[in-house]
């Protein structure tokens, strides 16, 4: 599944061009592993959504991080972990036992019934950081061609 998203004025405080983003969903199922290289090609960031109440998800996080971030290679700042709490669960948002190096990644907790606006704002911050990295990389590449 691919979600295309266009956000006007994402950078620049109300000024500037619109940004077009594509979110590719690999469903979290390893039976689609043959498709992963296509998902990873030319990607600029990785968002890993998991259920923190399932111990198996905490174990799988390391595999997803290794495959989609370390093997690309992407910077840790290009990865966002989203601990999604299902409606009606009280989930512990303070003491989530993440293994190293996952404990260094940006982590947000989402509960769309309680704080949808907070989740939206965190995604926008993440996307802005990705756009800044892409723009900086493009500028360095242009400067290396000029000089």
Report the percent of the chain where pLDDT is more than 70: 89
Encoded tokens for 38: 């296509």
Centroid of chain to Cα 18: 20
Q: What is the pLDDT of residues 17-67, one digit of tens each?
A: 677 888 888 877 788 888 888 888 888 999 999 999 888 888 889 988 998
> Which single residue is written with the structure tokens 């700042």?
77
Return the pLDDT at 90. Answer: 62
Which class for 104: exposed (0-12), middle (13-18), buried (19 or more C-beta within 10 A)?
A: exposed
Return the pLDDT at 9. Answer: 66
How far apart, in Å, are the Cα atoms of 130 and each of 91, 106, 137? Answer: 29, 13, 11
Return the pLDDT at 15. Answer: 62
**Highest-confidence segment of 5-14, 26-35, 116-125:** 116-125
**Confidence check: pLDDT of 123 > 90:** no
Report the percent of the chain where pLDDT is more than 90: 16
Domains of the chain, residue spans: 44-146
3-state secondary structure string across 35-73? HHHHHHCCCCCEEEEECCCCHHHHHHHHHHHHHHHHCCC
pTM: 0.82
**Confidence check: pLDDT of 10 > 70:** no
């Amino acid at each position: 599944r691919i979600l295309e998203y266009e956000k006007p004025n994402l950078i620049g405080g109300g000024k500037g061009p619109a940004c077009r983003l594509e979110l590719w969903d690999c469903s979290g199922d390893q039976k689609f592993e043959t498709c992963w290289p296509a998902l990873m090609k030319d990607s600029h960031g990785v968002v890993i959504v998991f259920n923190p109440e399932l111990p198996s998800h905490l174990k799988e996080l390391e595999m997803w991080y290794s495959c989609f971030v370390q093997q690309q290679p992407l910077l840790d700042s290009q990865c966002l972990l989203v601990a999604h709490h299902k409606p009606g669960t009280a989930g512990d948002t303070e003491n989530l036992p993440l293994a190293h190096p996952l404990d260094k990644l940006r982590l947000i907790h989402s509960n769309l019934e309680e704080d949808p606006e907070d989740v939206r704002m965190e995604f926008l911050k993440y996307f802005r950081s990705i756009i800044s990295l892409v723009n900086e990389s493009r500028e360095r590449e242009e400067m290396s061609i000029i000089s």
